[in-house]
Amino acid sequence: MSNAPPEHAPLVQFDVQDDCLQIGGMALTRLVQRVGSTPFYAYDREKISERIALLRRHLPQEILLHYAMKANPMPAVVQHIAGLVDGIDVASAGEMRVALDTVIPPHRVSFAGPGKREYELRSAIAAGVMLNVESVQEMESVAQLGMNLGITPKVAIRINPDFELKSSGMKMGGGPKPFGIDTECVPDALKRLAALRLDFYGFHIFSGSQNLNASALQEAHAKSLQLAIRLADHAPAPLRLLNIGGGFGVPYFPGERALDLAAIGENLQRLMPEVQWQLPGARIALELGRYIVAEAGIYVCRVLERKVSRGQVFLITDGGLHHHLAASGNFGQVIRKNYPVVIGNKVRGGEREVVSVVGPLCTPLDVLADQLPMAKAAAGDLVVVLQSGAYGLTASPTAFLNHPVPIEVLV
Ligand SMILES: *Cc1c(COP(=O)(O)O)cnc(C)c1O
């Protein structure tokens, strides 16, 4: 069975020794003993550091690199990343608390998201965190709360651009959206901002997530800069910050290729002189979530039973969609595709077979792999879902069926 069909995006990110996956400098079998029980998530700190170094190598030196922590809010992960990036983007007061525990100064923490609660705005203002305001109404609340506190709030305007990010897995801008202020309304919003005497930092434009198409991202970056230059004429003060979003994708499925980071870096490098000319004093920030953490993380569960039903093999595991919704195909996928899944303690295996990996939940949605070729496994073997460092546990319905919540470790 060695000439099986292409199985998954290549396993480039982890070594395999004696047919056992290595993570954090140790064999997976040993890590399982260290953690004590399955299922769990493990994040490899060296891989995260390497990824950030790769970004720094390709991006213009002047660009600020922010971590959008909703991709993986585990405090140890955020602490590790905080030492390597210039800022953290948060999407709730809970995330903001974790970010403020790091070495990142408060003004390099930015808080985005629609429907921020009053207590969230108040604590952001008190902390000196920058608020990406998503509507004029929110701007009014921020000004009022700032007045009550006797603190001038730091704000940027999130713009809902008048263009869409092509080939994005999840669109966050363009057309009617709950995010940001529509481009055509920004001049009036800026007038109001000036009257409210808010401390204006700049603009925030984020158009979509999970993009593997470098030329689409290049186009979005160029259009975002053009838009910012155009709208800066209406601003009450020179722009200090222009956040052009995240959205760099990683390959999950057969046929997908890694993003051409060099092309993205070169494009930004080409755009820099125009920005420095038109917006002197403005720093450009990229806020990346997925790209920084996705490939550094794995989800590990154990086979409880190998079951054959009408000729089809099922590996029933102690993990499932309640821990890893994205791998089950229910987090924004239109057509379900398999994440890369391997048997971690026998990656190649002596014998191979096509199996479906399922969890213990009483629903047919609880599938981690649907008819995927892998090493022939039995009860006790370890199933590993790769590319699981982003939007994994944090995006999963852990309360569903009330099984224990998995452990997370940074190794
Ligand atoms: C989710 C989010 C990001 C990160 O997106 P990725 O696709 O993970 O890079 C960045 N900015 C904002 C405002 C977000 O909501």
**Of 166, 170, 273, which is closest to residue 217 (Cα–Cα)?**
166
- HSE at residue 109, side-chain half, CA atoms within 13 A, is 26
Sign of CA dihedral 212, 60, 270, 87: positive
Backbone angles phi, psi at 125, to 5 degrees: -65, -45
Confidence of residue 11 (pLDDT cuts 50, 70, 90): low
87 Cα: distance to centroid of ligand 1 (angstroms): 13
Confidence of residue 300 (pLDDT cuts 50, 70, 90): very high
In a domain, 264, yes or no: yes
Distance CA 236, CA 324 (A): 45
Confidence of residue 12 (pLDDT cuts 50, 70, 90): low
The verdict on 310 and 279 lying in the same domain is no
Q: Is the per-residue pLDDT at 3 higher than 60?
A: no
The residues, ordered by sequence, that sit 6+ positions from 213 with a Cβ below 8 Å of its Cβ are 166, 167
260: number of Cβ within 10 Å = 16
Backbone angles phi, psi at 53, to 5 degrees: -60, -40
CATH of the domain at 172: 3.20.20.10
The verdict on 302 and 242 lying in the same domain is no
Domain membership of residue 405 as a residue range: 16-44+295-410
The verdict on 237 and 260 lying in the same domain is yes
The verdict on 29 and 126 lying in the same domain is no
Q: Whose CA is nearest to atom 10 of ligand 1?
A: 246
The first and second tokens of residue 369, run together, are: 């792999």
Closest-lying ligand 1 atom to the alpha carbon of residue 289: 8
- State the average pLDDT over residues 197-206: 96
245 Cα: distance to centroid of ligand 1 (angstroms): 7
- Domain end position, chosen among 264, 288, 312: 288
Q: Is the per-residue pLDDT at 146 higher than 80?
A: yes
Confidence of residue 2 (pLDDT cuts 50, 70, 90): very low
- Domain end position, chosen among 239, 267, 288: 288
- State the average pLDDT over residues 223-228: 96
The 10s digit of each residue's pLDDT in 15-73 is 999 999 999 999 999 999 999 999 999 999 999 999 999 999 999 999 999 999 999 99
> What's the mean pLDDT when you consider all of the chain?
94
Residue showing tokens 């550091």: 49
246 Cα: distance to centroid of ligand 1 (angstroms): 5
250 Cα: distance to centroid of ligand 1 (angstroms): 13
Q: Please state the domain count of the chain.
A: 2
Closest-lying ligand 1 atom to the alpha carbon of residue 204: 13
The verdict on 265 and 300 lying in the same domain is no
Distance CA 81, CA 72 (A): 11
In a domain, 88, yes or no: no
In a domain, 173, yes or no: yes
Ligand 1 pocket (Cβ < 6 Å) reads 68, 70-71, 89, 91, 112, 206, 209-210, 245-248, 287-291
5: number of Cβ within 10 Å = 8
In a domain, 91, yes or no: no
The verdict on 167 and 283 lying in the same domain is yes
165 Cα: distance to centroid of ligand 1 (angstroms): 13
The verdict on 267 and 399 lying in the same domain is no
**pLDDT for the residue numbered 207:** 81
Mutate to test the pocket of ligand 1, among 69, 252, 288 (most ligand atoms within 8 A of CB): 288
Q: Is the per-residue pLDDT at 167 higher than 90?
A: no
Q: Is the per-residue pLDDT at 166 higher than 50?
A: yes
The first and second tokens of residue 296, run together, are: 């550094």
In a domain, 165, yes or no: yes
Element (H, E) at 40: strand 40-43
Residue showing tokens 């079998």: 29
**Model's pTM, two decimal places?**
0.95
**pLDDT for the residue numbered 173:** 73
The verdict on 225 and 355 lying in the same domain is no
Closest-lying ligand 1 atom to the alpha carbon of residue 288: 9
Query: Which stretches within 131-213 are classed as H helix?
Result: 136-149, 186-195
CATH of the domain at 378: 2.40.37.10
**pLDDT for the residue numbered 254:** 85
Task: Compute the radius of gyration of the chain from its Cα atoms.
Answer: 23
Distance CA 114, CA 132 (A): 9
The verdict on 252 and 340 lying in the same domain is no
The 10s digit of each residue's pLDDT in 353-390 is 999 999 999 999 999 999 999 999 999 999 999 999 99
Closest-lying ligand 1 atom to the alpha carbon of residue 247: 7
Question: How far is residue 335 from each of residues 209, 328, 338, 359, 367, measured CA to CA in Å?
Answer: 17, 11, 10, 20, 14
275 Cα: distance to centroid of ligand 1 (angstroms): 23
- Domain end position, chosen among 228, 257, 288: 288
Distance CA 360, CA 383 (A): 14
The verdict on 371 and 308 lying in the same domain is yes
- State the average pLDDT over residues 283-307: 98
The verdict on 245 and 136 lying in the same domain is yes
Mutate to test the pocket of ligand 1, among 70, 109, 243, 295 (most ligand atoms within 8 A of CB): 70
The residues, ordered by sequence, that sit 6+ positions from 253 with a Cβ below 8 Å of its Cβ are 8, 9, 337, 338, 339
The verdict on 304 and 239 lying in the same domain is no
In a domain, 96, yes or no: no
Query: Which stretches within 167-213 are classed as H helix?
Result: 186-195
Asked, as a colleague might, if the bond just before 39 is cis with ω within 30 of 0, I would say yes
Percent of the chain clearing pLDDT 70 (strictly above): 96
In a domain, 347, yes or no: yes
**pLDDT for the residue numbered 401:** 95
In a domain, 110, yes or no: yes
Backbone angles phi, psi at 236, to 5 degrees: -75, -15
